[in-house]
């Protein structure tokens, strides 16, 4: 039960100090107890919650999704169907994003390949941007 400062919590969780305070402000993290000098003092359980949040953010979950996942974690006896649904929705988003980025990559590659490093009026980069009809990928 040894308490740690916000700076130490930041170092151990990988979440920056102002971000920790921000998470407290929006209610993702409980208000920690304070030292005599009014400084935040965290417990190990806060640390694992912060790590949970950081990991979920890295996976691209929005704060509201994380709020839902955390409330599930806080009530471990209920069904995990909600957690599953949140993760599945995120998976679909990621798959769509990958598809559109692949199309985009192809288009950018064409632009870059077509550029003969001459003058702008012969540049394929500018040309493709100016006239969408030049673009072979119409997925966007």
Q: Is 38 in the site for a copy of itself (CB under 8 A)?
A: no
Identified binder of a copy of itself from the candidate list 25, 27, 62, 80, rule CB under 8 A: 80
Q: Is 49 in the site for DNA (CB under 7 A)?
A: no
Q: Is 26 in the site for a copy of itself (CB under 8 A)?
A: no
Q: Is 83 in the site for a copy of itself (CB under 8 A)?
A: yes
User: Rounded to the nearest 5°, which phi and psi values hold at 84?
Assistant: -60, -45
Separation between Cα atoms, residue 39 and residue 58, nearest integer Å? 28
Q: CB-wise, 23 or 128, nearer to DNA?
A: 23
Separation between Cα atoms, residue 90 and residue 48, nearest integer Å? 22
Q: CB-wise, 8 or 109, nearer to a copy of itself?
A: 109
For 41, the enclosing helix (H) or strand (E) is: strand 40-41
Identified binder of a copy of itself from the candidate list 50, 122, 136, 138, rule CB under 8 A: 122
Q: Is 6 in the site for DNA (CB under 7 A)?
A: yes
Handedness of CA 76, 17, 65, 91 (dihedral sign): negative
Q: Is 30 in the site for DNA (CB under 7 A)?
A: no
The DSSP symbol for 31 reads P
Q: Cβ atoms within 10 A of the Cβ of 135, count? A: 17
Separation between Cα atoms, residue 47 and residue 14, nearest integer Å? 10
Handedness of CA 25, 30, 33, 35 (dihedral sign): negative
Could you give the 3-state DSSP secondary structure of residue 70?
A: helix
Q: Is 1 in the site for a copy of itself (CB under 8 A)?
A: no
Identified binder of DNA from the candidate list 14, 27, 33, 39, rule CB under 7 A: 39
CB of 96 to a copy of itself, least distance (A): 10
Binding site for a copy of itself (CB under 8 A): 48, 51-52, 55-56, 58-60, 69, 72-73, 75-81, 83-84, 86-88, 90-91, 94-95, 97-98, 101-102, 104-105, 107-109, 111-112, 115, 117-123, 125-126, 128-132, 135, 140
């Amino acid at each position: 039960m040894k308490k740690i400062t916000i700076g130490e919590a930041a170092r151990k969780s990988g979440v920056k100090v102002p971000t920790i305070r921000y998470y407290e402000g929006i209610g993702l993290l409980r208000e920690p107890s304070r030292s005599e000098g009014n400084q935040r003092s965290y417990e190990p359980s806060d640390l694992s919650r912060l790590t949970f949040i950081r990991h979920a953010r890295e996976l691209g979950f929005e704060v509201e999704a994380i709020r839902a996942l955390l409330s599930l974690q806080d009530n471990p006896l209920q069904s995990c169907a909600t957690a599953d649904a949140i993760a599945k929705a995120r998976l679909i988003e990621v798959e769509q994003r990958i598809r559109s980025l692949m199309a985009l990559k192809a288009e950018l590659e064409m632009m870059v390949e077509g550029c003969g490093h001459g003058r702008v009026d012969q540049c394929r980069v500018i040309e493709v941007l100016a006239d969408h009809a030049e673009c072979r990928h119409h997925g966007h």
